[in-house]
Structure 1
Amino acid sequence: MIGRLIGELIEKQPPHLLVDVQGVGYEVEASMNTFFRLPEVGQQVLLHTHFVVREDAQLLYGFIDKKERTLFRSLIKANGVGPKLAISILSGMTTNEFIGCLVREDSTALTRIPGVGKKTAERLIVELKDKLQPLQQDEPADFQLTATDVPDMAQHLASFREEAESALVSLGYKPAHAAKAVSQAEQKLGSNVSIEELIRLSLKSMVSG
């Protein structure tokens, strides 16, 4: 069982990461909430991990903190929820937002996440509401983007748009909906944009409906 990785962040192509640990490159899949909080490529990163073994694959999922990993593990124990759907849920909402939906029994908000139908949302509320409420606590504030954070943005905007759309599609959103959400987010952000913020705002608009 691989429970933690500490190494150099070599690549981040949302939602996939590559971490070099003493010369061994680990391919890791992460939620967008973890992706938003990663350091820059080339820097050290610590990820709490969950290892999944299937007949056709061995998959490693990484989380920036233990709280998110705990939620992931609770989700995949729920009836009808696999790792892919759990990552989509963790990408569409923060831990507190998801638990808030459970506490309020807000199944409508949950169904805006790809793969979560009405029955699945209601089942998640029944199965996880009481179990996960203790996890609800303060989360890190959203980072504030400034022009100095994003040099030479004009030449990167097209690649950012493509990468953001690809990330949303990998989470289960339809290509046309992903393209529309990214375009709207891009218009709101203007020239001060990073790939993290572009994906974050696109996801927010899609989940909030």
Structure 2
Amino acid sequence: MIGYLKGKVTNIIKSTNNRLILILEVNQIGYEVQIASRLARQLEENTSDESVQIFTHLQIREDQQILYGFASAAERDLFRQLISVSGIGTQLAIAAIDTLGLPNLVEAIVTGNIPTLVKIPGVGKKTAERIALELRTKLAQWRQAVGVATPANSATPANALTEDVEMTLLALGYSNSEIEQALSALSQDSQMLKNTKAEDWIKNAIAWLSQ
């Protein structure tokens, strides 16, 4: 396996299927590495001529070998965790990391935040639930082991309470996006975070959404 490559960015091109390919020159050899747009922006903003280190995952198929590149070993490890889930391919895993970023994606999985996970292109409610179910415990332990930071705005009510509130609000006709915004707003209140009554969260969420 190739753990990482360290070299100079020669070019970043968009392939015919809209995938971003980094051309990284290492010892006069140009490696093609598929990367997410988040990493492409970081590399484009880096105007220095210094070498960059790209952590890689090599996928070997019968007809081709594909290198996937990441900004950190933690991102690469999360990618590997995602593709271990049934029905999650490499492109969906890259989209997940690209859309939410490492800390927010891990936090969403660990807390079972389905409204956040369905923001990922190609991920519906059932797929989001499967990702959370299969990876929640693994990623909670992994996050602690590798020291992945918790997002500053990640305070939310406990999982069981959140699910009760979300299900009730969905039944009342609110969208996933509206529910997530309401819960995020209410979670800024330290008194609400101490409140374990679902009915109070529902009542306050409706009041917030009615503003």
| Shorter-chain TM-score range | 0.5 to 0.7
Structure 2 distance, partners of 1:131, 1:123, is 13
* Consecutive unaligned residues in structure 2, runs of 5 or more: 15-19, 152-211
Higher relative contact order (CA 8 A, sep 6+): 1
Stretches (4+) displaced over 6 A = none
1:107, CA displacement in angstroms? Answer: 1.3
The answer to whether structure 1 residue 6 and structure 2 residue 19 are counterparts is: no
**Relative to structure 1, is the Cα distance of residues 41 and 78 closer, same or farther in structure 2, using a 3 angstrom cutoff?**
farther
Number of aligned residue pairs: give it. 141
2:71 corresponds to: 64
1:172 corresponds to: none
**Aligned sequence identity (%):** 38
**Relative to structure 1, is the Cα distance of residues 29 and 19 closer, same or farther in structure 2, using a 3 angstrom cutoff?**
same
**Relative to structure 1, is the Cα distance of residues 139 and 24 closer, same or farther in structure 2, using a 3 angstrom cutoff?**
farther
2:148 corresponds to: 137
Q: Of 28, 34, 37, which aligns to 2:39?
A: 34
Question: TM-score by structure 1 length?
Answer: 0.61
Cα contact 1:10–1:42 (8 A) shared by 2: no
SS at match of 1:37: helix
Cα contact 1:8–1:42 (8 A) shared by 2: yes
Q: Of 19, 22, 30, which aligns to 1:25?
A: 30
Structure 2 distance, partners of 1:59, 1:139, is 31
* Consecutive unaligned residues in structure 1, runs of 5 or more: 141-209
2:97 corresponds to: 90
Cα contact 1:7–1:46 (8 A) shared by 2: yes
The answer to whether structure 1 residue 80 and structure 2 residue 92 are counterparts is: no
1:42, CA displacement in angstroms? Answer: 4.4
Greater Rg, structure 1 or structure 2? 2
**Relative to structure 1, is the Cα distance of residues 109 and 43 closer, same or farther in structure 2, using a 3 angstrom cutoff?**
same
Q: Of 126, 135, 149, which aligns to 1:119?
A: 126
Question: TM-score by structure 2 length?
Answer: 0.61
